[in-house]
Amino acid sequence: MTTDHLIPARRQFLRNGTLGIGSLALSHLLQEEVKASATSKTYVMPHAPKAKRVIFLHMVGGPSQMDTFDPKPALDKWDGKSLPSELTRGQKFAFITPEARAIKSPYKFAPRGESGLVMSELFPNLARVADDLTLIRSMQTNEINHGSGELFLHTGHGRLGRPTFGAWASYGLGTENEDLPSYVVLKDQHPNAGPAAWSSGFLPSKHQGVQFRTGTKPLFYLDNPAGVSRSQRGDVIDTIGKLNSLAFNRYHDPEIQTRIAQYELAYRMQTSVPELADLKGEPDHILKLYGLDGTGPGGDFAKNCLLARRLVERGVRFVQVFNKGWDHHQSIYTALPRSAQKVDQACAALLTDLKRRGLLDDTLVIWGGEFGRTPMVQEHNAGSGAKTPPGRDHHKECFSILMAGGGVKGGVTYGKTDEFGFGVAENPVHVHDFHATCLHLLGIDHEQLTHRHQGRDFRLTDVHGHVVRDILL
Amino acid sequence: MKSSILTVTYALSAIAVGLAAETQTVDFSRDIRPILSSRCFNCHGPDGASRKAGLRLDHRDNAIELEAIVPGDPELSYLIERIITNDPDDRMPPKGAPLSAEEIETFRAWIDTGAHYEQHWAYVKPDRPKPPKIKPVDWHQSNPIDHFIQRRLTEHGLQPSPPAEPAVLIRRLSLDLIGLPPTIEAVAAFERDPSEVNYEAFIEHLLDSPKFGEKWALHWLDLARYADSNGYQHDDLRSMWPYRDWVIRALNADLPFDQFTIEQLAGDLLPNPTREQLIATGFHRNVPTNFSGGTKVEEVRANVLHDRVSTTGQVWLGMTMECCQCHDHKFDPIPQTDYYQLYAYFNQAVPEVAQKGKAMFKKLFVGADLPVVASPEDGARVMEIIEQMTLEKAALEKAKPWALAEQPGWEKEFLASGRGESIPWERFPWNLRGGYQMLKIPAEKRSDNEKRNVEALLFYDHPFTGPYEKALDMLKDTRDTLAPRTMIMKDQEDYVPTNLFIRGDYTSPGAPMKPGVPSVLHPLDPEYPMNRLGLAQWLVDAENPLTARVTVNRFWAEIFGQGIVSTPEDFGYQSPHPTHPDLLDWLALEFVEGGWSMKQLIKTIVMSSTYRQTAAVSSAKIAKDPSNQWLGRGPRFRLPAELIRDNLLAISGQLSDKFGGPAVYPPQPAGLWKEISGADDTFYPTSDGEDRHRRGLYTFLRRGNPNPMVLNFDGSNRSACVTKRDRSNTPVQALNLLNDPIYVDAAREFEAWIERVPGNDQTRVISAFRRALARRPSQSEVAALIAIYQKHGNWFSVAQVLLNLDETITKS
């Protein structure tokens, strides 16, 4: 499948371009468009999309499901005892042994909202939007390490080299705003997998996630060199365009036309991107909502949530937000609540804000980590073996994620884990199924969105994946 | 290549480009197998596990036995019945669109004439094709390549284009051979005498330049997934630059490709290998390696070995074998057992990483390595250091009993002192602070290991021995900086048994496997050893139908922008048919018979008229062949990231011509290394002086967060073998070249250069233009540049414009 996303790009330039393209070039561009649309296959949606865009809030490290969204009262009884060996035998763990003792959750769970969605006391703000959430308690993955687990969550494969979900979305659906990248990455810290977590893999590299850094200079190289004014820069771009047009008259290579357009777009981005990233223009009540007025925890994650809204509002297809700090090998008593407190208000604010603007209906918001954590305790340092406050180890057999908006039901809980929270008891949702479902919401049949590489048609879901229809509106 | 052309005729619309209907014969390889492979083999192909109804359409006998095919009678063949039916429950293929009317007609014609199968062209040894006799188009006939090209052009109703103007041609040649623009003097000399003799002399001059290897190494380093760090979490640094320099030197020396292959895959197994041959084996040590704590050692090993099999398959065989980790290949005739036979060759290698202690944050590297120095001076310095270390060690040994005599008192004093807080624990073999705890165990209860560890701490801290230990640490640091250890391949002494992994899972071993080669290809010569050396010899064996074809195809793609087979990593059933199969074979045989000389291969290609054509053609001509697959015009495409850098710095006059050595750290945005998760190396040591302006292939490549310019221009983070880079065209690239301090600085230098040009504004503009683009500017081009100079009153804007032109970053 090939899609020529430059077609709308060219139209956009012709409409918005502040700098001139010669009339000859213009007619050529139009011809190119006609030709391209006649020869390129574009992705034909098998069904109407419910979601037009995605915000994926990745809680890097793997939140503990037993302490957040999956209550396990049975662990109260098993606290301090080893789990039945038939359950743990042969399982891979990162740092603990299968005989490690179970540990109960110190947190209280209660039904929230009209729907009665059950979650722990760690998320008082998310509790208020419970009726907008689909909670999946039966997620499963293949990996027990952060780097490979993150890759699996984003690419459906545990090793380097595959395209990420966002890249597939950009590849399949293109962009709604040619003045911005279709796939933007926001983070407080790098995830463990680094840029591989927003790579385009073997897809064309224009579909890789573009990192927006916090602050008013989100992209590298946005500023003119010292002493160069905006109008001088305009002259330079204009002259580059003139000479490139003359080169076009020699070579007639359409790439030259694209280059002219991209320089003009770069010029516009020098003002549009800082404006977009500047949160000062947001009214006080919005800053307060996200906790950015000094009353809430604030921080980069809250800023990134607000920026994510501004990005989807402007037509960015996929916003990937990373929040690091969920790898609680140590202390589910003190460290875990701090992590939850850092994100709770901003996550709820994002949903509320999107909803008020009518954007939640067609924006899919996802919250979750790359895997879950063990019902068993880890109380030693992985390096020295020294004793540490009780935490939990990595766990791939089950974990919980949240979804909201974009065509998923609200106030719904899907899937069940066993009494210990060790394995899935009902309705497993493997990461491949999760991908299939998200693509479905975007109007894409996960088996049809393919790219030929190394002699075969690759897809996000490899050779797996089932759409979880029960959570769809 | 042989192909039994059948004699039936039919209308083949797929090939028709501007032709209404062409009379063609059915060619199984070209017309039938691609459809079978992409639409049928998934359920009726080589993979036994997913086969439906026991039917194999990849085996003629089976297909006939089950009456899917009745040779000579399409209407009795179930295959036809099932592809033409309108009943959606019966129709084949069950998924996706039905076959088109043309495809159905092709099948009918094929069955009608006997349904002959033939071996896939790529698995059959090439025969030397005769260049076709074609009525010459006056100038377009200088070597056999042009005959093959012109026949296809004629078939497609196209004409070749005239030669490019001398200045443009010489720039193209220079970019292709050394990756740098020609000097104005070289351009002027060739313009004065653009004769055949002079053209060839210029080629020879470029092939002899040490910069030749720097240009062509770039491409090979993508295949070798060369990088300066491990990848994954932590992303520790590694010293593989000696391997990179080996590649450059081997290319400059025109090491024949068969030897180039053998040394990289198995240099360590050659009799009495030289240091250079050992360094060459870094090829397969370049693989990314995961050191994060929770990862299982066996898992890391399996991943590393899978990468080696997959990379070897792509680079030499054009075979994509990744899917055979788990099951038989769905399309190509590669059973899972073939895959694990290849795996067995690599499984003999020593492990890459090991776990020390019960659980650690990080694994340790345990593979073989070799110390190397960048210069003779460094070598002499290292020898001095080693002597000094011997002296310090002797003194330390003498002092140890004195320290041991004071151990009980020292233990108490040490625990009370709080000095434990400032001990660099990472220097001790047991790592981290665990060692501290051992002091609290009563001396008589300590295990032997614990005793040793406590003594190590004593020697480090006690005033009798500590100064020697610390001096040794410093000397060792200096030694390792001057003589880093580069990784090389090594096999284990004892035979390492290999088992197939059921469903690719390293924890589910299946049948035992011995080293062996893919069964669809030529057999192993029994004389070859049963190790990597035997595999390497088999790859470059005269019987191998793939290696030479795959290799010449990549060289062709580097020069023309796309291969004769457009998927350089895949020559299997699913690969697009070669645009010029006979040319591919001709080049492959020339290559092998010419002694596998890479320089000669390049020379043959660039001596052709096909190569010398102009790229300046009309829109109408481009419309007839937008991707230039028939080569009726010269190649024109954007340079790769590293060469854009090299060119802009060459134009500004800043480019250093220093050769080789450790990777360098040109300025990049602050903090990128700090972003890497779990990294110990977070400080980016920005280079000073000349090292800021070295060629792009010397820039430090940190997998976890590479230099942004490399990624902006489609470079790879080298996490896996890359056979073909994209050539995107984005606004971020524009911002990069306009505002990156490196290129702003280059524009300032170029500005200063322009100011020094004697003469008036017009001559300055022309000189600057020629320096950037080699050719002379037109009147309008000069006028536009003078206009902005006059408006801004400085040459900086002119310099920026010239460094940012499409033509400047493009091979035209």
CA A434, A435, A436, A437: dihedral to nearest 10 degrees?
Answer: 50
Which positions in chain A touch B437 (Cβ < 8 Å)? 384, 386
Which positions in chain B touch A266 (Cβ < 8 Å)? 731-732, 734-735, 738
Rg from Cα positions in chain A: 24
**Among A144, A143, A139, which Cα is nearest to A416's?**
A139
Tell me the pLDDT tens digit for each residue of B272-316: 999 999 999 999 999 998 887 777 888 889 999 999 999 999 999
Residue A33 has pLDDT above 80, yes or no: no
Side chain identity, residue B100: S
Q: How far away is chain B from the Cα of A358, in angstroms, using its nearest Cα?
A: 31
Tell me the pLDDT tens digit for each residue of B441-483: 888 888 777 788 788 889 999 999 999 999 999 999 898 888 8
> What is the pLDDT, as a whole number, of residue A147?
86
DSSP string computed for B651-709? HHT-------SS-B-----TTTGGGSTT-S--------GGGGGS-GGGB---TTS--HH
Average per-residue pLDDT for chain B: 90
Tell me the pLDDT tens digit for each residue of A127-171: 999 999 999 999 999 998 888 899 999 999 988 889 999 999 999
Which positions in chain B touch A256 (Cβ < 8 Å)? 806
Q: Which of A195, A222, A324 sits opposite B739 (nearest CB)?
A: A222
CB-CB under 8 Å, B231 with A160: yes
Which positions in chain B touch A199 (Cβ < 8 Å)? 717
Tell me the pLDDT tens digit for each residue of A49-108: 999 999 999 999 999 999 999 999 999 999 999 999 888 888 888 888 888 999 999 999
Q: Which of A95, A204, A454 sits opposite B726 (nearest CB)?
A: A204
Give the range among B35-49, B301-315, B515-529 with minimum mean pLDDT. Answer: B35-49
Tell me the pLDDT tens digit for each residue of A175-199: 888 788 889 999 988 888 888 899 8
Q: pLDDT-based confidence at A25, cuts 50/70/90?
A: very low
Distances in Å between the alpha carbon of B759 and those of A241, A408, B755, B756, B779? 27, 72, 10, 9, 18
Q: Which of A219, A251, A254 sits opposite B616 (nearest CB)?
A: A251
Distances in Å between the alpha carbon of A174 and those of A313, A329, B136? 16, 40, 47
Average pLDDT over residues B597-607: 97
Q: Distance between CA atoms of B800 and B751, rounded to whole angstroms?
A: 9
Q: Distance between CA atoms of A54 and A201, rounded to whole angstroms?
A: 20
> Which residues, listed in sequence order, are joined to residue A363 by a DSSP beta bridge?
A53
Residue A17 has pLDDT above 60, yes or no: no
Q: How far away is chain A from the Cα of B149, in angstroms, using its nearest Cα?
A: 21
Which positions in chain A touch B717 (Cβ < 8 Å)? 195-196, 199
**Among A179, A146, A178, A185, which Cα is nearest to A164's?**
A185
In angstroms, the first-to-last Cα distance of chain B is 33
How buried is B495 (Cβ within 10 angstroms: 0-12 exposed, 13-18 middle, 19+ buried)? exposed
Which positions in chain B touch A206 (Cβ < 8 Å)? 726, 728, 730
Q: Distance between CA atoms of A91 and A110, rounded to whole angstroms?
A: 31
> What is the pLDDT, as a whole number, of residue B136?
63
What stretch of H or E contains A401?
A: strand A399-404
pTM for this structure?
0.82
Q: E strands within B12-90? A: 23-24
> What is the pLDDT, as a whole number, of residue B5?
38
Residue B400 has pLDDT above 90, yes or no: yes
Q: Distance between CA atoms of A2 and A450, rounded to whole angstroms?
A: 9
Structure tokens at B120: 């896939």
CB-CB under 8 Å, B669 with A94: no
Higher pLDDT, A197 or A456: A197
Which positions in chain A touch B703 (Cβ < 8 Å)? 194
**Among B537, B538, B532, B539, which Cα is nearest to B496's?**
B532
| Cβ atoms of residues A326 and A338 within 8 Å | no
Q: Distance between CA atoms of B91 and B106, rounded to whole angstroms?
A: 18
Average pLDDT over residues B188-196: 95
Which SS3 state, helix, strand or coil, does residue B105 take?
helix
How many helices and strands in chain B, by DSSP H and E?
Answer: 33, 10
Higher pLDDT, A422 or B296: A422
Q: Distance between CA atoms of B169 and B83, rounded to whole angstroms?
A: 52
Residue of B nearest to A445 (CA): B96
Structure tokens at B412: 């108490």
CB-CB under 8 Å, B669 with A255: no
> What is the pLDDT, as a whole number, of residue B139?
60
Q: Which of residues 349-368 of B touch A (CB under 8 A)?
A: 357-361
Q: Distance between CA atoms of B91 and B88, rounded to whole angstroms?
A: 5
Count A/B contacts: CB-CB distance under 8 Å.
234
Which SS3 state, helix, strand or coil, does residue A77 take?
helix
Does the beta carbon of B740 lie under 8 angstroms from any beta carbon of chain A?
yes
Residue B317 has pLDDT above 80, yes or no: yes
How many helices and strands in chain A, by DSSP H and E?
Answer: 13, 17
Give the range among A232-241, B127-136, B172-181, B219-228 with minimum mean pLDDT. Answer: B127-136
Q: Distance between CA atoms of B596 and B261, rounded to whole angstroms?
A: 11
Give the range among A149-153, B81-85, B253-257, B419-423 with minimum mean pLDDT. Answer: B419-423
Q: Distance between CA atoms of B197 and B193, rounded to whole angstroms?
A: 9
Residue A4 has pLDDT above 80, yes or no: no
Q: Distance between CA atoms of B635 and B164, rounded to whole angstroms?
A: 11
Residue B172 has pLDDT above 90, yes or no: yes
CB-CB under 8 Å, B359 with A247: no
Find all residues with CB under 8 Å of B473, minimum gap 6, and list them.
Answer: B427
Q: Distance between CA atoms of A383 and B276, rounded to whole angstroms?
A: 38
**Among A51, A152, A129, which Cα is nearest to A352's?**
A129
Q: How far away is chain B from the Cα of A173, in angstroms, using its nearest Cα?
A: 18
Residue A29 has pLDDT above 70, yes or no: no
Tell me the pLDDT tens digit for each residue of B635-653: 999 999 999 999 999 999 9
Q: b/e for B632-653, b at 16 or more Cβ within 10 A?
A: bbbbbbbbbbbbbbbbbbbbbe
> What is the pLDDT, as a whole number, of residue B188?
96
Q: pLDDT-based confidence at B4, cuts 50/70/90?
A: very low
> Which residues, listed in sequence order, are joined to residue A206 by a DSSP beta bridge?
none
Structure tokens at A247: 């080169």
| Cβ atoms of residues B737 and B804 within 8 Å | yes
> What is the pLDDT, as a whole number, of residue B315?
97
Tell me the pLDDT tens digit for each residue of B782-801: 999 999 999 999 999 999 99
Q: Which of B233, B569, B785 sits opposite A147 (nearest CB)?
A: B233
Does the beta carbon of B288 lie under 8 angstroms from any beta carbon of chain A?
yes
CB-CB under 8 Å, B731 with A265: yes
Structure tokens at B666: 């040109």
Residue of B nearest to A9 (CA): B730
Q: How far away is chain A from the Cα of B390, in angstroms, using its nearest Cα?
A: 32
Higher pLDDT, B683 or A41: B683
CB-CB under 8 Å, B740 with A220: yes
Side chain identity, residue A336: L
Higher pLDDT, B411 or B553: B553
φ, ψ of residue B62 in degrees (nearest 5):
-65, -45
What stretch of H or E contains B392?
A: helix B376-405
Structure tokens at B550: 């795959």
Structure tokens at B707: 């230099």
